Structure 1
Amino acid sequence: MKVWLKRILWLFAGLGVIFLSFYLSIYWGAFGKIPSKDELKNLKQSVATEIVDDQGSLLGKVYIYDRQAVSFSDFPPHLINALIATEDARFYEHDGIDAKSLFRVFFKTILLSDKSSGGGSTLTLQLAKNLYGRDAYPVFSIVINKLKESIVAQRIEELYTKEEIIELYLNTVPFPDNTYGIESAAFKFFNTKTKNLTVAQAATLIGSLKANHSYNPRLFPERAQLRRDVVLKQMNKYNYLSTTETNQLIAQKIKLDYQYFSPNQGIAGYFREKVRKQTEQIIQKYKLKQANGDLYNILTDGLRIETTLNKPMQLVAERAMKKHMARLQSQFEKGYGNNAPWLKNKAAFNWALQQLPYYKKLKSQNLSSAQLKDSLNKKQKVKLFDWKESTIKNLSILDSIEHFSKFLNMGFVALEPNTGEVKSYLGGIDYTYFKYDHVSQSKRQVGSLFKPIVYTAAIENGLDPCSYYSPNAVTYTDMKNWTPKNASKENKESEQHINYSLEKALSESINTIAVKVLQEVGIEKTIEQAEKMGIQQELPKVPSIALGVTDMKLLDMAQVYSTFVNGGVAPEPVFIKTIKNKSGEVIWTHDKENKPDTQKVAFSSFTRQVMLSFMQSTVNKGTASRLRTTYRLNNAIAGKTGTTQNNKDAWFAAITPKLVCLTWVGNDNAKINFSSTAIGQGANAALPMFAEFYSALSKNKEFDEITQAQFEPISKEVKKAIECDVEKKDGLFKRIFGKNKDEKSFHEDKQKKKKGIFSWFKKK
C-alpha cells in the first residue's frame, strides 16, 4: 500500500509540476503576451462616434464597434442588481476567481452532470475575455484561454474597484445586433439612455448576454421574454425584487423602440456620410490630436459631432420625398408605356453597364466575349429596391441593370440663408441602394435655374427693371446662326408685337428674352456676377449660358439663391457646428472655418429686392404657380423652376425668408430622360417635393417661426421702379413697318439701333 501511495503522491506531484510549468509558461507569455498591470491601467476601448442634430438628438453613429461609454453613476440600481443576480451572485465576495463556484461546477456539472448548477465564470473573467478575446491553439485551447483570463482577471481586481469593474464590464460586453456596451444597447433597443432603463428593459438586455443572438429581442421576442423572466426571478431570489413586483413585471410583454444606426440604414444617410467625410478632413486639416499625440480616429475614439441638421425637419423631408417620388415614378413609367428606354434602348443599357465597377474589373482581366457574358449572366440573390416593398430575387448583373436603371433619383437641400446651416439633406431616394450624392457630388445641367443670375447681373449693371423685350426668336448671325427658342409654342400672329417686362419674362421663364438680356449685360459681367453669388467653378463664355447649359452642383445653386434673402451674401454651407472628444471637451468648432471673403456682398439692396419681387411673381402667377393653385400654399415664397434640354433634368429653387430649398430630379443614366415636358418640367417633377415638404412644415406649429415669416417690405424706390405693366404692345408705326424679330438677326437689329431709324428706311 505504501508503494502505491508513494506512486500516487509522485503522480500528483508530477502533475503539479507539469501544471505549474504549464501555468508559468502562460504567465510568462509562451502562448501570447498577457497585458501587464500598466497596460490594464490605461485600457482603451474602441468607442463609436455619435452624430447628433442641432438639438442633440442622435442621428447615427460611425464605428467599428457600436459602443458608447457611460460612467457607473449612470447605471440604475436595478440594472446592476439584474447583472449581479444573473451573472455573478458572489461578485462582491471573490477576487476575480470564484473558487466556491468553480468547486461547485467541477463536482455538480462535470461529475454529476447537473446542468442547473450554473457556471463558474465571474464578471471579471468575462471582462478579461471581452477586452482581449480568445486565441485559437492546436491543443488545450480552452484551458490556455481560461488560464490567461484568470491571470488578467486577478490583475484587474488588484487595479480596479468593484464599481469600476462593473463599469468596464457593462461598457464592453457584446449585446445583440453587433452592439457593444449598455448605452448603445439601450439606445438601439429602447431608444433611451442607460440611466432611464426600466427594470423590465434592464432585465431584457442583461438576459441577452447569455447568448446575444439566441436571445435577441428583435429577432426572437418570445424567447427573449422567457430569458428576461429568468433574470427577474433571479432578482427575486436574491431579494432585489419582491414577489409581487416580479409577477407584475413578468406579466408585461417586451416593447421595443428599435433604432437603426448602421451606415446604410436610418435617417439622413447621405448627410451622415457627408459629415463623416468632412470630419475626417477636419481632423487632418487641423491636426486634431489626442493626449498621446495620435490623431483622432472617427471610427474608434468616441467623438461627438454636433451638426446643423434638424431631425424633425429631416423626417418631414424624407416623408415628402417618398410620397412625391413614388407618385412621379409611376407617372414616369406610364409615360413610356411599352417603349421604356431601360429595356429597349441599347445605348442607355450599355452606358449603365460601363459605369459598373464590376464590369470594369472584368474588362481589365482580358476575358473573352463568352467569358464576359457568362460572368454578367451569372445569377445570385439580389435585394431590389422598390417604392412598394423591397424584394430579394435571383438576378444577373444584366437583370439588375434593367431593374435599377428605371428609377428616377433626386437631390434636396434646405438651408438657413443667413447662417448657411443645412437643416435638411437628401442626396438621393435611398442611401442603401443609391450611394451617389446628388447634393454635393453630382453635377447636372441647371437649365433655367441660371436665369436669375443673368437678370441680377443686368439690373446690377443698370438695366431698368421695367425694360421690355419681345419674346420672339431671333437668329444670332455672329454666333453661327444660333436661334434659341422657347419651350412653349411660338406666339400667335396676334401676339407677335407683344413685349414682356423683365418680371414676366423671368416668371414665365422665356428663353429668348434671357439670351437677349445676357447680350445686353455681356457674358463677362454675367460670369462675374455668378462668381460673386457663390459659383466657384469655371463657366463657359458662351451665350447659351443664359439657358443654363452648364453642369453644376445642387449645393452651389443653394448658395446662389440664398443671396436673395441674406443681404446679397452667399453663405458657406455649414454641416458641422462642433466636434467633441469622448470626455466632452470641444476640439473643433465651425468658427475655425470662417473665411473673410465669404462676407462679400454680391449685389446692391436695390437689385436684391427687385429680383426677389420678380421671383415672387414666378410663384404667384408664373411657372411655379402650382404652389398657390394646386397646393394652396399661402406662405411667403419666391422661386424658380428649371427644365433642361430633352427633359433630362427638373429643378425647383424655393426661397422663403428663413429657409432656401433646392430640388433636382432626374435619372442617373445619362441616356434616359423624361418622355415629355409635361412630366419632366420642373413644375411637375421637382416643385411638388418642396410643396409636400413645406405643406407639412406649415401644419406643424414647431416650425411656425420658419413658415410664418414674411419677406421684408420693399423700399419706395424699388416699388416705383417695378411699377409697370407686364406686357406692352409695339407702337402702331412699328407694327406696320417693323419686321418681326424672328425674321432678322439680333446682330442686325443692334446695328440698326446704332444707325437710327432713317438710315434703316433708306436701306429698305
Structure 2
Amino acid sequence: MNKDLSKEETKRYSLRIWKVLIGGIAIFAIFISMIGFGLFGALPSFRDIEHPKSNQASEIIAENGRTLGTYFVQNRSNVTYKEISPNVINGLIATEDIRFKEHSGIDFQRTFTIIFYNLIGKKQGGSTITQQLALNLFSEEGRQRNFFKRVMQKFKEWIVAVKLERNYTKEEIITMYLNTVDFGNQAYGIKSAARVYFNTTPDKLSVTEAATLVGMQKGITMYSPTRNPERSKARRNTVMAMMVKSEYLTQQEFDEQKEKPLGLHFNAATVNDGIAPYFRSVLKSDIKTIFQEQGITKSDGTPYDLDRDGLKIYTTLNYDMQVYAEEAQKEYMKILQQQFINSWKGRNPFRDKALQIEQGVKRSDRYKSLKLEGKSDEEIKQDFNTPTELTIFTWKGNVDTTMKPIDSVRYYKMLLRNAMMTMDPTNGHVKAWVGGINFEHFKYDQVKMGTRQVGSTAKPFTYAVAIENGYSPCYTVPNVPVTIDGYGEPWTPKSTGTLPGILTLQKALAYSQNYITAYLMKQVGPVAVANLATKMGIPNVPAYPSIALGTFDSSIYNMVGAYGAFANKGFYTQPIYLLRVEDKNGVVLYSQKAIPKPVMSEEVAYVMTRMLKGVITNGTGSRLNYKYKVNAPIGGKTGTTQNNSDGWFMAITPQLVTGVWTGCEDRAFHFISTGQGEGANTALPIFAGFIKRVYGNPALKISHADFEAPKSGVSIVFDCNQYQKQEEGTTELDEKLGF
C-alpha cells in the first residue's frame, strides 16, 4: 500500500514538475513572442534587417584611391569580406565566438556554460558575434546598465540575432560586425581602425596588428594601445594565444610574434586633422550646394547627410602632391614669419592701427560669444584687457599661455598667412590645395573663398593681348612714364626698380616694368584686356587702365585657372576638383568633366610661355634657378601689391600650374621693404620647395619637358636676333623706297 502510494506521489510530483517545466517553457515562448511582436519596445523590421542603418562616414578619395579624409559623426567606412585580412577574422572568432560558424545566432551551449561561470563568481561575456552585431546595429542606447533592462535587451538581441542569421551568410555577418564595432579614438569599423592605429588598410593587417585591434573589444579604453600600451600588448598576446588554441596560429608563429612591439602609426581621426582640411571643408559645402540645386536626394526624398550616409567622394587631388604642398608651406613660413617679425624690430607695427585692432576684436569668436551673452561694450572691453588662459598658434605648435585677449588680436594681426593651389592645365584637375596655415585656428579658405589684389601677376594678360595684336616679344619700347587718358582721371603709374633705356617686351615682362606695361595698355585698351581676363575665368575685372598692374582682386583658384590657358595651348579650363559622388552602394549621384574653351590662339599661348620662362631664366623669378636650384622649363610671374601687402608667385609647366599667395590677414600689416615683401621672397620659395619634392618623386611622372611649339609653326618672331635682322632689313627697304 505504502509502495503504491509512494509511486503515486512520485508520479504526481513528476507530473507537477513537467507541468511547471512545460508551463515555464510556454510562458517563456509567449514572452519571447511578445518581445518579437514589439510589445516591450519596437524591434527592427524585416526591411531594417535587410538594410541595417549605421552612421557611416563619407570618404574623400584622392586620384590614386587613397583616402584624404572623412566627414563623420562616427568615423566609419565599410569594407567587404575580401578586403579584411584573415588574421582579423581568425583572431575575432578565436577570441569572441569559437563556435561562430556552427551556431544559428545563439550559442546555447556557451550560454549555459557562461551562466554557470557567473554563478560561481567568474564573470564571463556570453554574447555571440551575431548578438554583438545586433546590439551594435539596433540598440542606439548601447548596452544597458540596469539589470532588468539588460535582461530585456538580451532577449531582443537573441531575436535580432536569429533574424540576422536567416538573412545573411556568416561572411556577411562577421563583415557587418567589423564594420560597426567601435575601436576608440573616433575609429568606427575595421577600415577606420586600420587607418587610425596602423596607417594601413584592413587587408594588410598583420597578425600582431589584427590581434591588437581584436583585443580592444574586451575594453576599448582599458586595452587602448594609445592610452595603455603595456596592457594592450598583453591583451594582444592573449588573443594570439587563443588563436594558437583554435589552430589559427602555430606555437612557433606565436613565439616569434609575442615579443614584437605594438608598432603603432597613430593618426588621430578628427575633422581638423589629416591632410587638405581646407579643401575638405570647401568640398563639403560645394556638395551640399550641388545636391540642393540639382535636387539630388535619397529614394525617400530626404536629403543626403554627408556625415552619416557613407558617400564615396572622388576628387582630383593627388595625395603626394598635397603632402608636398603642405610640407613646403610649413618649411618656409617658419623662416618668413621670423623675417617679418625681425623687420619690425625697433618699430611699432600698431601705430595708427587702432581701427584695424578694433575690427579684429569685433570679428573674433570671443567678442561674438560675449555679445550673445548680453555683455555691454564696456564689459567686453574689460574682458579683452584681462589676462586669461589662451591657446595660440605658433609655427612650433600650439602654445598654452596667459595673456590679454586684446594682445592675442595684435599677435594674430602680425601673423603671416599663406595659400596655394596646383592644377593640371590639360584637364583642369586640381592636384593640391592649401587654403591657409592652420585649419584648427583659421577656418577661412584663401584659395577659392578669399580674394586679394593680384599685382604684377596680372601683367601677362596685357602682354597676351598685345602679342595677339601683332607685337613681338622683341619689340622695343622706351622705359619712360606713360599717361593714359579717356577713362576718368588721367592715369600715370608709379614705378620702382625701373631699368633705364629702351627695353624689349620680353625684358620688360621679365623685370616687371610698370611703364612698358602701361605703354601696351595704352595701345590695346583696357576693354580688350578686361575681356581676355574674363574669358580666362577671372570675374569682375573692370575696364580701367590700372588693371594692367593688377589693381583688381582675384582668388588663387581663378588665377591658376587663368594661367592654365597659357600652358594649355590657349584653352581655358575651369579648375575642377570633384569628379563624382557615389552612394554607399556605388550608385553615381553626381559627376562632372571639365570643358576646355579656346581664349587665345595656340601661337599666342606658346609665345607667352616663352616670355614667362624669361621671367625665371633672367628676371624677377630667377632665384628659382640660382638660389633654389630648380632647373626645368618653368614659366612664372612674381607679383607684389602696394605697400608689400600681398606677395604672389604664379608658375607654369606643361603639366602643372601653381599659384602661391602670402600676406597678413589685414592689408594694413605688411613688410616694410619690397626686398622682403615682394612675391619673389614671400611666395616663390614655397613653390620651389613644392616643385623640388614633385620632381624628386618619379612615380608622379612630372617631366622636365618643355612646352610644345604649335605644329603649324609660329609666325610671331620671338628670337630677338632674327627680329633685329628683320627690322634692319625693313629699315633699309623703307629707305630705298623713299619712306
Q: What's the TM-score, normalizing by structure 1?
A: 0.85
**Contact 1:610–1:722, Cα closer than 8 Å, also in 2:** no
Cα distance between partner residues in 1 of 2:599 and 2:531:
10
Change (3 A) 1:340 1:152: farther
Partner of 2:56 in structure 1?
Answer: 47
For 1:70, what is the secondary structure of its paired residue?
Answer: coil
1:694 aligns with 2:703: no
1:519 aligns with 2:519: no
What stretches of structure 2 of length at least 5 have no aligned partner?
Answer: 1-8, 725-739
Greater shift, 292-301 or 660-669, is seen at 292-301
For 2:571, what is the secondary structure of its paired residue?
Answer: coil
Change (3 A) 1:465 1:162: closer
Change (3 A) 1:480 1:429: same
**Contact 1:501–1:725, Cα closer than 8 Å, also in 2:** no
1:124 aligns with 2:121: no
C-alpha offsets along residues 429-458 of structure 1, whole Å, 9 cap, x if unaligned? 222222211111110000111111112122
For 1:341, what is the secondary structure of its paired residue?
Answer: coil
C-alpha offsets along residues 548-580 of structure 1, whole Å, 9 cap, x if unaligned? 111111111112211112121111102123333
For 2:717, what is the secondary structure of its paired residue?
Answer: helix
1:680 aligns with 2:677: yes
- Pairing partner for 2:531 from 524, 528, 537: 528
Change (3 A) 1:369 1:544: same
Aligned amino acid, residue 717 of structure 1: S
Where in structure 2 are the equivalents of 1:155-304 lying within 5 Å?
155-288=163-296, 296-304=304-312
Cα distance between partner residues in 2 of 1:662 and 1:180:
38
Q: What's the TM-score, normalizing by structure 2?
A: 0.87
- Pairing partner for 1:411 from 419, 423, 448: 419
Change (3 A) 1:722 1:581: farther
Alpha-carbon deviation of 1:686? 0.8
Greater shift, 180-189 or 198-207, is seen at 180-189
Change (3 A) 1:162 1:625: closer
**Contact 1:271–1:425, Cα closer than 8 Å, also in 2:** yes
Alpha-carbon deviation of 1:667? 0.9
Partner of 1:603 in structure 2?
Answer: 600
Alpha-carbon deviation of 1:363? 3.7
Cα distance between partner residues in 1 of 2:88 and 2:282:
37
Partner of 1:747 in structure 2?
Answer: none
**Contact 1:343–1:402, Cα closer than 8 Å, also in 2:** no
Partner of 2:727 in structure 1?
Answer: none
- Pairing partner for 1:96 from 95, 105, 122: 105
For 1:180, what is the secondary structure of its paired residue?
Answer: coil
Where in structure 2 are the equivalents of 1:647-666 lying within 5 Å?
647-666=644-663
Partner of 2:81 in structure 1?
Answer: 72
**Contact 2:418–2:436, Cα closer than 8 Å, also in 1:** yes
Cα distance between partner residues in 2 of 1:350 and 1:359:
11
**Contact 1:351–1:669, Cα closer than 8 Å, also in 2:** no
C-alpha offsets along residues 692-727 of structure 1, whole Å, 9 cap, x if unaligned? 222222333334x4241112248553236754899x
**Contact 1:347–1:671, Cα closer than 8 Å, also in 2:** no
1:505 aligns with 2:508: yes
Aligned amino acid, residue 388 of structure 1: K
Q: CA RMSD in A?
A: 3.2
Partner of 1:614 in structure 2?
Answer: 611
Partner of 2:139 in structure 1?
Answer: 133
Greater shift, 442-451 or 713-722, is seen at 713-722
**Contact 2:196–2:267, Cα closer than 8 Å, also in 1:** yes
For 1:414, what is the secondary structure of its paired residue?
Answer: strand
Cα distance between partner residues in 1 of 2:384 and 2:146:
42
Where in structure 2 are the equivalents of 1:268-347 lying within 5 Å?
268-288=276-296, 296-339=304-347, 341=349, 345-347=353-355
Greater shift, 356-365 or 178-187, is seen at 356-365
What stretches of structure 1 of length at least 5 have no aligned partner?
Answer: 727-764
Change (3 A) 1:188 1:368: closer
**Contact 1:341–1:348, Cα closer than 8 Å, also in 2:** no
For 1:666, what is the secondary structure of its paired residue?
Answer: strand
C-alpha offsets along residues 622-642 of structure 1, whole Å, 9 cap, x if unaligned? 111111221222210111110
**Contact 1:455–1:517, Cα closer than 8 Å, also in 2:** yes
**Contact 1:308–1:423, Cα closer than 8 Å, also in 2:** yes
Aligned amino acid, residue 650 of structure 1: G
Greater shift, 326-335 or 215-224, is seen at 215-224
Partner of 2:667 in structure 1?
Answer: 670
Alpha-carbon deviation of 1:88? 2.0
1:59 aligns with 2:61: no
Cα distance between partner residues in 2 of 1:15 and 1:414:
73
Partner of 1:566 in structure 2?
Answer: 568
Partner of 1:386 in structure 2?
Answer: 394
**Contact 2:62–2:314, Cα closer than 8 Å, also in 1:** yes
**Contact 1:60–1:266, Cα closer than 8 Å, also in 2:** yes
Aligned amino acid, residue 308 of structure 1: T
C-alpha offsets along residues 349-372 of structure 1, whole Å, 9 cap, x if unaligned? 222212224423534665323322
Where in structure 2 are the equivalents of 1:435-454 lying within 5 Å?
435-454=443-462
C-alpha offsets along residues 272-294 of structure 1, whole Å, 9 cap, x if unaligned? 22333333344344444556665
Aligned amino acid, residue 476 of structure 2: Y
Aligned amino acid, residue 418 of structure 1: T
For 2:272, what is the secondary structure of its paired residue?
Answer: coil
Change (3 A) 1:33 1:228: same
- Pairing partner for 1:473 from 478, 481, 495: 481
For 1:168, what is the secondary structure of its paired residue?
Answer: helix
Aligned amino acid, residue 156 of structure 2: K
**Contact 1:50–1:303, Cα closer than 8 Å, also in 2:** yes
**Contact 1:333–1:340, Cα closer than 8 Å, also in 2:** no
Change (3 A) 1:642 1:134: closer
Change (3 A) 1:469 1:76: closer
Cα distance between partner residues in 2 of 1:378 and 1:234:
60
For 1:392, what is the secondary structure of its paired residue?
Answer: strand
1:710 aligns with 2:716: no
Cα distance between partner residues in 2 of 1:467 and 1:719:
10
Change (3 A) 1:338 1:146: farther
Change (3 A) 1:114 1:442: same
**Contact 1:134–1:145, Cα closer than 8 Å, also in 2:** no
1:630 aligns with 2:632: no
Alpha-carbon deviation of 1:14? 12
Aligned amino acid, residue 710 of structure 1: D
Partner of 1:583 in structure 2?
Answer: 585
Change (3 A) 1:624 1:724: farther
**Contact 1:379–1:395, Cα closer than 8 Å, also in 2:** yes
Cα distance between partner residues in 2 of 1:162 and 1:396:
61
Aligned amino acid, residue 615 of structure 1: L
Cα distance between partner residues in 1 of 2:646 and 2:328:
20
Cα distance between partner residues in 2 of 1:379 and 1:144:
55
- Pairing partner for 1:541 from 531, 540, 543: 543
For 2:211, what is the secondary structure of its paired residue?
Answer: helix
C-alpha offsets along residues 369-389 of structure 1, whole Å, 9 cap, x if unaligned? 332235546776544322123
- Identity %, equivalent residues: 37
Greater shift, 214-223 or 419-428, is seen at 214-223
Aligned length: 706
